[in-house]
Amino acid sequence: AEAEALAAHFGSAGTGCDYQQIDDPASLRAALRARPRDALLYVFGLDSPTVSAALKILHGQDVDIPFIIVAEPADEKTAVRAMRAGAHDAVFRDRMERLLPAVEREVREARQRADHRAALAMAHDSDARFRGLASSLPGMVFHLQRGLDGDYRFLYASEGSHRLFGVKQHELL
């Protein structure tokens, strides 16, 4: 009934909601492996894994999805502890109008984190390819910058600096 009420809350806001109720740790692991999820809503007071166990499973699966707690106002201290342990937000049942904006915000931030991780991976791959290319050249590849004071500074120097000039890369830098 609680899951259906949460789904109805999303429906009343004009947002469709496909949900799956999870009651034990094994089911949570299986659900996280089965397909991508937009968010995980943890409802206090139901027979389910503890919040710390659910967070441990989520972090163990190495997925970055929002973990949002739905609780009674009396559970505020427990919700705060859960947020310190890694939950993204807590929404109390007396303020359910916060649920949809909290989910939307956390989903958006998770996508931004995923985009950032992908950009970092691409930059790392590009840097590795560049360094491989630069080290295989018979000469030296460098990036020299002239400062406002007129002094020059090496921003990058390939390993060829040692072969050509007998000066190690880190000494130039």
Q: Which of 96, 51, 89, 44 is nearest to 68 (CA)?
A: 89
Residue pair 11/39 in contact (Cβ under 8 Å)? The answer is no
CA atoms within 13 A on the CB side of 134: 17
Mean pLDDT computed over every residue of the chain: 86
**Residue 48: per-residue pLDDT:** 67
How much is the CA Rg of the chain, to the nearest whole Å? 25
Strands 67-71, 142-146: pairing is unpaired
pLDDT higher than threshold 80 for residue 15: no
Q: Which residues contact 109 (CB under 8 A, 6 or more apart)?
A: 66, 88
- Amino acid code (one letter) for 5: A
Beta-bridge partners for 156: 143
User: Residues 105-162: pLDDT tens digits?
Assistant: 999 999 999 999 999 999 999 999 998 888 888 888 888 999 999 999 988 888 888 8
Q: What average pLDDT does range 68-97 have in this prediction?
A: 87
Helix axes 51-60, 76-84, angle to 10 degrees: 20
More confident residue, 61 or 110: 110
**pTM, to two decimals:** 0.71
**Residue 126: per-residue pLDDT:** 95
Own/partner pairs for 71-78, CB < 8 Å, 24+ apart? 71/43, 71/44, 71/45, 72/44, 72/45, 75/44, 75/45, 78/44, 78/51
Per-residue pLDDT band at 168 (split at 50, 70, 90): confident
